[in-house]
Amino acid sequence: MTTKKWILLLLLTGVAIGTRLLSADPVLIENQYATGVYPSISSVLKHVFGWLPFSFGDIIYWLLVIWILIKLIRFTRKIFKKQVRFTSWKTRLYPVTVTLLLIYISFNVLWGLNYNRQGIKKQLQLTTKKYSTAELVQLDSMLAEKVNESKAALLRQNKKSPGNQEIFDGVKKAYDSASKNYPYLAYNRSSIKSSLWGWAGNYMGFTGYYNPFTGEAQVNTTVPRFLLPFTSCHEVAHQLGYAKENEANFVGYLAAISSTDSAFHYSAYLDLFLYAQANLQGVDSLKTKHFYNQLLPGVKDDLRELKEFSKAHRSPAGPLFRLIYGLYLRNNQQPSGMLSYDEVTGFLIAYYQKFGRI
C-alpha cells in the first residue's frame, strides 16, 4: 500500500475517532452542532434535493441494492470456480475500510451527531422520570378522550381522506403553527416524499424514515391513511434534528396538535394512545381493555383496519428488520431499542405535569 493511501486511512480514522469523542459532550453538541451547524446543513440538503418530485435518496438505495446483488453474484461465481484467493482480500480490504469510514463520518456530520444532543427536553425544560401506574392510567384516559373527540370532529366534517401532497402541505402548516410557540420547530423548506420502498416497508414494519445523506423525509404512503399525518410529522422532526425516536414522536405530536386539521389531531392522538396502551398492558391489562371499550365505533373500525393490514403483511423480514434496527438504535443512544418509540409516554406525562394539557 502506498504512502498516500496510508495517510488517507490514518486521516479518516483520526476524524472518525474525533467525531466519536466529540459526541460524548451533549452540551457541546446541542449548542454548537444541533442548533448551530446542523440547521445550515439541513437547509442546503433541502435546497439541493427538496424540489425533486421523487425521493433521490431512494434512487440511491435502489442503485446500491442492485450493485450489492451484482457483487454477490460475481463473488458466488468466483467461489464455485475457485478463483477466490487470500491475496485478493488484502487489496480489497483497503477500499472497503475507506468507504466505511467515509460513510460513518458523513452520517455523523450530516445528521447523526443529533443522537447525542440534549434536545426537546432541554428546550422545554421538561423533567422526565419514572412514572407511576396511576400517572400512566391518567394519561391513557386523557388520550382515549382526545382520540374520541378528534374522530367525532372528523365524522362531523365528513371530508374525504386527504391525498399525499395535501398531507405533506398540512405538515408544513402544522410546523409553521407550532413554531409560534416553539421557535425551534420552524420548518423553513419542505422536503417530504412518498417512499419508493413502501411495498417493502409493509413487510418490514416501517412507516417512514429520514435519509441523512439527502435530507429527505420519506413516508410510506401505502399504509392506512389515518396514520400518515402523524408519521409525516414524525419524519419532519428527524429532519429538524430530533434524532431519537421518542423525541421525534413527541415533536411530531407538538406539531400535529398545532394543526387546524382534525385529521392531524386524530392521527397523533391515536398513535400516542396505542403507545400508552402498550405501556399500560404490562402493568394493568384490565385497564387497557377498559380504555379500548371506551373508544368510538369509528375508532375501533380503524384499529381493526390497522390490525388486518399488519396481519396481511406479516413476513420473516419483519422480526429480522426490527432486530437489526433495534441494534442500530441501541448503538445510537437508545438502549431500549425498538421500545424507544414507546418512551414518548414519559415525555407526554412530563409535558402534562408542566403545562396542564395534552
What pLDDT sits at residue 336? 66
pLDDT at 116 over 70: yes
Domain limits of the chain?
Answer: 3-116, 120-355
pLDDT tens across 90-113, in order?
667 888 899 999 999 999 999 999
pLDDT tens across 199-233, in order?
888 988 889 999 999 999 999 999 999 999 999 99
Whole-model pTM above 0.85? yes
pLDDT at 86 over 60: no
Beta bridge partners of 218: 193, 209
* Among the listed residues 198, 264, 201, 205, the one whose alpha carbon sits nearest the alpha carbon of residue 236: 264
* Model confidence band, residue 296 (pLDDT cutoffs 50, 70, 90): very high
* Angle formed at CA 32 by CA 249 and CA 344, multiple of 5 degrees: 15
Mean pLDDT across 246-273: 97
What pLDDT sits at residue 200? 87
Backbone phi and psi for residue 192, each to the nearest 5 degrees, phi listed first: -115, 130
pLDDT at 338 over 80: no
Mean pLDDT across 176-204: 93
Please give the Cα distance from 358 to 350 (Å, whole number): 10
Residues with Cβ within 8 Å of 241's Cβ and at least 6 positions away in sequence, in order, are 34, 35, 38, 39, 42, 111, 114, 117
Percent of the chain residues topping a pLDDT of 90 = 73
Write the DSSP assignment of 183-194 as a string of letters: GGG---S--EEE
Q: Find out whether 241 and 126 touch, Cβ atoms under 8 Å.
A: no
Mean pLDDT across 47-60: 94
